[in-house]
Amino acid sequence: MITLLRGTVYERRSDSVVLLTPGGVGYLLGCSSTTLAELPPVGHETELRCHLAVREDAMTLYGFGSEPERDLFHLLIGVQAVGPKLALAALSAGGPDEIATSIAGGDVKRLQQVPGIGKRTAERIVSELREKLSGLAPATPGRAGEAARSVVTVTARDEARDGLLGLGMPPDEVERLLAVAEGDTAATIIGDALRRSRG
């Protein structure tokens, strides 16, 4: 799985960037306008977090300027009827902090301003993600950093839960371990949970 690429900005497009890696391979990554705005000029080095979407007829790579943006992207594409392109459109309408706080605050009208997101889809996004982002209040000037950190925390625990369940652990045992396990990433949380289960 490609999770991060470091290289030189070779070409900038309206919705994507070509990143030339040291091995001479150029990768085309779809990006939000937020990430594109933060990229350095052509010829300069940068790094992007990645998500590889695999379908029967195509493999598409997406790039993100920050971990919170990628984490929120993962949450969005987990919602029924929200694909990668629509998730990028949502992220292009504001940074991950702004979008996360809009969802947590139940701001359906704000989401409807995103091209391609109608009332029904906006309501579904709020319905499915509001609880996961319930630690956030509606967007206010001082909450941006807190919002971004909360997105990361929620996503890491969700991924750790999926990983532990995938190992065959009973759901009640998984929840018990997650309540006390420590870590900032899914991997560290899973590792701590496994150590506690053996103890």
Please list the residue range(s) of the chain that carry CATH number 1.10.8: 143-198
Please give the structure tokens belonging to residue 132: 């996961």
CB atoms within 10 A of CB 100: 29
> What integer best gives the mean pLDDT of the chain?
84
Q: What is the pLDDT of residues 114-126, one digit of tens each?
A: 999 999 999 999 9
> Could you name the CATH architecture of 143-198?
Orthogonal Bundle (1.10)
Question: Cβ distance 96 to 72 under 8 Å?
Answer: yes
Residues forming CATH 2.40.50.140 domain(s) in the chain: 4-64
Q: Estimate to the nearest angstrom the gap between the alpha carbon of 169 and the chain centroid.
A: 26
- The number of beta carbons lying within 10 Å of the beta carbon of residue 22 is 9
pTM of the model: 0.68
Give the model confidence (pLDDT) of 54-103 as tens digits. 888 888 999 999 988 998 999 999 998 899 999 999 999 988 888 998 99
Nearest of 60, 107, 108, 109 to residue 88 by alpha carbon = 60
Closest to 30 measured CA to CA, from 99, 86, 103, 114: 86
Q: What is the CATH number of domain 67-141?
A: 1.10.150.20
CA dihedral 157→148→86→160, nearest 10 degrees, is: -10
Does domain 4-64 fall under CATH 3.40.50.1100? My reply is no
Question: What does the DSSP assignment read for 29-59?
Answer: EE--HHHHHHSPPTT-EEEEEEEEEE-SS-E
Report the C-alpha gap between 134 and 73 in whole angstroms.
Answer: 17
